Amino acid sequence: MQKITLLYILFLVISLPAFGQDMSKITKIVSPTAQAAPTSLKRKISKINAQNEDLPFEERLKPFYHGVASGDPLSDRVIIWTRVTPNAETQTDDIPVKWYLTSDVELQNVVAEGEFTTNADRDFTVKIDVVGLDANTTYYYYFSALKANSLIGRTKTAPDETSAEHLKFAVVSCQNYEAGYFNAFGRIADRNDLDAVVHLGDYIYEYGKGVYGANLIERSHQPETEILTAADYRTRYSLYRLDHNLRRAHQQHPFITIWDDHEFANDSYKDGAQNHTDSTEGSWADRKTISKRVYDEWMPIRTVNTGIYRVINYGNLMDLIMIDTRIEGRDEQINDVTNPLMYAPNRTLLGQTQKEWFLDKLGNSTAKWKVIGNQVIFSEFNVGWAAAALTPPQTPEQIESGFTDIWDGYPIERDNIIDFMSDNSIDNVVWLTGDFHSTFAFDVAKRPSIFGFDQATPTYNAETGEGSVAVEFATPSIASANFDENVGTATATALEYQINKPLPAPLEGVNPNPHMKFVDLDRHGYFILDIKEEAVQADWFFVEKVLEPTEIEEFAQGWLTTDGRNHLTKADAQTAPKTTQATVAPDEVPEYIDEITGIFSPKNEFTDIAILSLYPNPSSTIALVNYAVARPMNVTIKLIDSQGKIVKVINEQKNVSGNFALQFSVKDLSTGVYILQFETEKGQISRRMVVGK
């Protein structure tokens, strides 16, 4: 009996008005990430007074405006990253960058150093895989270029088999810049006992200005159009990485990242995306290639030519298996649960090559805990029961068809994986999930409810946990819209109330999602994953708000699974901090000392404006300049030829501040070298630009 048939029967008999919450005014229930992005959320927002930390950029960091980052730690190596913003003399030249890694925050004991030359081909980013390091050790690092130093970053290597006793990770996803402030990253940056931050995707969003956001004046996407080209994607990453709290989190902790769909386009799959049209936006293959390239440039990830899926070993305590459920092999979504093709045995979300790799890593892992970095909800998510409560009523099939971007849309492959875990007696598997902008804790069972696919009799006991083969923890969004922000507070509250509780008569006692132990559909934040030999616990923390900066967060709940049990129990309290707390990396930039003269470089003269990028350079048709203005001022942009003549006034702005991306034509200009000059009340800055035909 297929899921859709059973749901239809339930639709006929459920008496929804008896539910504990009034759902009579609900018009639609959809996934917060499903299909096309809604228009702006229309929440009433008043402009707030930006604090210094919320300026469009921090001039004191010049030329390392985007800070520093690290990632993909192994027991003997780690990636360190930065970006150098060129000045007028270096815009089209190679930039030598020195890097240093030390064992102390005072930068006295240098254990590794080197020099790397960056240029426009890699968007002036720097990425070093520092090797020969000690396991389970905190290090500090910084970069030098253009007679200035970067911030000091803090990172940590993974433990080896003899040093893994206690691990802590912050788990995050879904940070739409236009939806609000990244307050959760500020709280993560304040923690001093994390081994790493696990980011499960949607690091950026591809939409143009005002398409999917909260109408916050201070947080607008640049460029203002949907991003399609390399220049577009680079500019968008630049915007996100200028966020104060995200920059701080990268400075203090290594990140382990995987992409989801919005690094490419909404609801993407191997051969396309819901938010991509070849006829108007060019080849999907080209867009996918560009997206991957820019992700590799801007993220502290170890470049893997065969795909982004990989294993990060944390000694004999944990294997972190990062899988790509989006781009590598996913078949196109079928947004109709009545379509027999959805249940085809060869339908795949992982792709055959990745699936074989994944099962091999899962089956042959000797670590105590097998933790899977996964993007979309793995467990069954049953919502068709709510169909009759909508106005006008909908069928269960219509409701369920709105949730097929998750593993529910690939049920046979999910069954195969659950069977593999069960048949091979693989214990202690923990799924980490993002994407959904909501909080969940699941027991992972093949048939948790009579609402599930193709079985009227559940094989799961919610009281004892029997039938559960693993557990799943889903992280809320950093800022991206939750259920309440997409469908309204009343709908979200009613759904949250009933989604994992027994239904009323005549199906009294029937829980549509008994395996869902914890749910929150309307708060933003993250969870801390605490791993020891005897147990793994997820502690959820929610920030007070995202529409304004705040440092307030609260602990919500903790859920844990113990060694060999493969199901969840509620924790009595949040896990304790680690006994060892690492020294924080300072917010001050170390002074630069000239190696030849031994003289300190003078401090930057602040102009409150920065030219962040110029693409392409050389240019023959259209150029894109990205710049930031820290405080309101008048800005005039001119193009000056080699003789000092003004050949074009590109733009004049009055009393502006913020981040801007401006396109302008150079088709009418002669081949040669020009100066792109920005003039303000505080002075002028410029970049050299080459026009070539």
The region of weakest confidence among 198-202, 456-460, 539-543, 666-670 is: 456-460
Whether pLDDT at 691 is above 80:
yes
pLDDT computed for residue 41 by the predictor = 33
Where does the pLDDT of residue 595 fall: very low under 50, low under 70, confident under 90, or very high at 90 and above? confident
pTM score, whole prediction: 0.93
Q: Residue 477 and residue 358: Cα distance in Å, rounded?
A: 26
Of residues 25, 456, 38, 440, the one with CA closest to residue 275: 38
Q: What is the pLDDT of residues 38-83, one digit of tens each?
A: 333 332 222 323 344 578 999 999 999 999 999 999 999 999 999 9
Q: What is the pLDDT of residues 328-347, one digit of tens each?
A: 999 999 999 999 999 999 99
Whether pLDDT at 16 is above 50:
no
Of residues 72, 53, 257, the one with CA closest to residue 174: 257
Q: What is the pLDDT of residues 206-260, one digit of tens each?
A: 999 999 999 999 999 999 999 999 999 999 999 999 999 999 999 999 999 999 9
Angle at 201 between CA 348 and CA 361, to 5 degrees: 50
The region of weakest confidence among 64-78, 392-406, 550-564 is: 392-406
Average pLDDT over residues 605-612: 90
For the chain, domains (ranges, CATH) are: 3-41+158-570 (3.60.21.70), 609-691 (2.60.40.3080)
Q: Residue 212 and residue 42: Cα distance in Å, rounded?
A: 10
The number of angstroms, rounded, from the C-alpha of 288 to the middle of its chain's C-alpha atoms is 17
Average pLDDT over residues 517-527: 98
Q: Residue 314 and residue 73: Cα distance in Å, rounded?
A: 9
Distances in whole angstroms, Cα of residue 261 to Cα of each of 24, 62, 557, 632, 637: 34, 32, 29, 35, 36
Name beta bridge partners: 141.
101, 153
Which one-letter DSSP state was computed for residue 593?
B
Of residues 315, 214, 210, 226, the one with CA closest to residue 273: 226
Average pLDDT over residues 598-602: 70
The region of weakest confidence among 51-55, 86-90, 507-511 is: 51-55
Q: What is the pLDDT of residues 103-119, one digit of tens each?
A: 999 999 999 999 999 99
Q: What share of the chain is helix, strand, coil (3-state, %, to 5)?
A: 20, 30, 50
Q: Residue 410 and residue 432: Cα distance in Å, rounded?
A: 18
Of residues 182, 180, 178, the one with CA closest to residue 226: 178
pLDDT computed for residue 366 by the predictor = 97
Mean pLDDT value across the chain = 91
Q: Residue 564 and residue 367: Cα distance in Å, rounded?
A: 13
Q: Residue 461 and residue 447: Cα distance in Å, rounded?
A: 10
Amino acid letter for position 104: D
Q: Are 657 and 642 in contact (CB under 8 A)?
A: no
Q: What is the pLDDT of residues 433-477, one digit of tens each?
A: 999 999 999 999 999 998 766 555 788 999 999 999 999 999 999
272-282 burial, b if ≥16 CB within 10 A, otherwise e? bbbbbeeeeee
Name beta bridge partners: 651.
637
Which one-letter DSSP state was computed for residue 247?
H
Angle at 244 between CA 241 and CA 249, to 5 degrees: 80
Where does the pLDDT of residue 1 fall: very low under 50, low under 70, confident under 90, or very high at 90 and above? very low
Angle at 62 between CA 58 and CA 67, to 5 degrees: 70
Q: Are 670 and 691 in contact (CB under 8 A)?
A: yes
The number of angstroms, rounded, from the C-alpha of 210 to the middle of its chain's C-alpha atoms is 20
Q: Residue 394 and residue 39: Cα distance in Å, rounded?
A: 23
Q: Are 448 and 380 in contact (CB under 8 A)?
A: yes
Whether pLDDT at 3 is above 60:
no
